[in-house]
Chain A
Amino acid sequence: MTDLDAGTSMEHVVDPHMADHPSPRKYVNVAIILAILTAIEVAASYITGLSETTLIVTLMLLALVKFAMVGLYFMHLKFDSRTFRRFFVTGIILALLVFGAVLWLFFALGGPAPGLGA
């Protein structure tokens, strides 16, 4: 058995609560996908034919997939209790609300929001 194959069954895991975590081989596969997605992101930013909207949507989608993959697999949100996921998602939602509030304040105080097309 190689090092990468180790830890795939209960008998090799010292903590039963962590027995359903992915195997090292799965972690490597996730990392390879993350590296490929990063390469696609960088390549996309150099394509001159894309419209700005298409480029921004593409980049944001790729970042979202990378974000989710790290959270679900490396941080084990896919395998752990839903309570942990709720704590994290609540933080993300609040962060988006903060962004919305700041944006609204800039508009409410007069003048377009700088940096967002003004």
Chain B
Amino acid sequence: MSTHEATVEHHTSTGLDNTKLAMWAFLGSECLFFGSLISTYLLYRNRVVTGPTPHEIYDIPFTSVSSFVLLMSSLTMVLALAAIQRGDHRGLRIWLLATAFLGLSFIGGQVYEFSTFVEEGLKLSTSTFGSSFFVLTGFHGAHVTVGILMLLALVGFSWAGRLEPASEGARKVELIGLYWHFVDIVWIVIFTVIYLVPTKG
């Protein structure tokens, strides 16, 4: 596709990029999805009949490091966008790979946390707290995993020259970036509401 065709494609009745508008609509719907899961967790977390309570099982220092890692991945993501906005594809790939690495580190931490919880007696079916916790954080982890796959796809597209012209490439990177930052924003809420806000017991 020529540069001219690519530019014409984005002339819309609203004057806005339709793909970006669709991404924001999707993120708005994701707010509802995670809002429901967080609501369910808050309603069930203190209804522990069997198994460990949140107070007994959470490892705040460990989760704090994971949160810091995910926050910093948002920084590397915007630096990737800034790189392609300058037409710097090498910089783009470096920052995208850094973002994917930080995302993988977060997921690794989550796998470790889940396996530790299971060893300590908290499983999906142990209590309503266990069910709501694993479903909420599991779905968030799944979103991070999808984000990592999209980041790696972008790296591949960049290597294959499929992010040209750079203005079109920047739009694609921005879309994936919006998704990635949303995943980070959701974790900001989860970290505070689920891990830091004190529970009874």
- The chain A residues found within 8 Å of chain B, CB to CB, are 3, 6-7, 12-15, 18, 21, 23-24, 27-28, 30-31, 34-35, 38, 41-42, 44-46, 52, 55-56, 59-60, 62-63, 66-67, 70-71, 73-76, 81, 83-84, 87-88, 90-92, 94-96, 98-99, 102-103, 106, 113-116, 118
Chain A CB within 8 A of B86 CB: yes
The binding surface of chain B is classed by DSSP as helix
Question: B75 contacts A59, CB within 8 Å?
Answer: no
13 more contacts with CB within 8 A, not counting A63-B191, A84-B16, A102-B36, are A6-B88, A18-B170, A23-B82, A24-B78, A27-B78, A27-B79, A60-B192, A83-B16, A88-B31, A91-B32, A103-B39, A114-B47, A118-B46
Q: A59-B192, A91-B32, A102-B36 are in contact. Are A21 and B185 (CB under 8 A)?
A: no
Chain A CB within 8 A of B20 CB: yes
The distance in angstroms between the C-alpha atoms of A73 and B21, with both chains bound, is: 18
For B28, give its contact among A6, A41, A87 (CB under 8 Å): A87
For B170, give its contact among A15, A28, A67 (CB under 8 Å): A15
What residues of chain A lie closer than 8 Å to B93, measured between beta carbons? none
Binds A, one of B66-74, B107-115, B137-145, B150-158: B66-74
For B36, give its contact among A23, A31, A98 (CB under 8 Å): A98
Q: A27-B79, A38-B68, A62-B192 are in contact. Are A14 and B86 (CB under 8 A)?
A: yes
User: How many chain B residues have a CB neighbour from A under 8 Å?
Assistant: 67
Question: B72 contacts A31, CB within 8 Å?
Answer: yes
What residue in chain A is nearest B170 (Cβ atoms)?
A15
Question: B78 contacts A74, CB within 8 Å?
Answer: yes
The distance in angstroms between the C-alpha atoms of A106 and B20, with both chains bound, is: 38
The distance in angstroms between the C-alpha atoms of A106 and B42, with both chains bound, is: 12
Of B44, B81, B167, B192, chain A has the most CB atoms within 10 Å of the CB of: B192
Question: A70 contacts B36, CB within 8 Å?
Answer: no
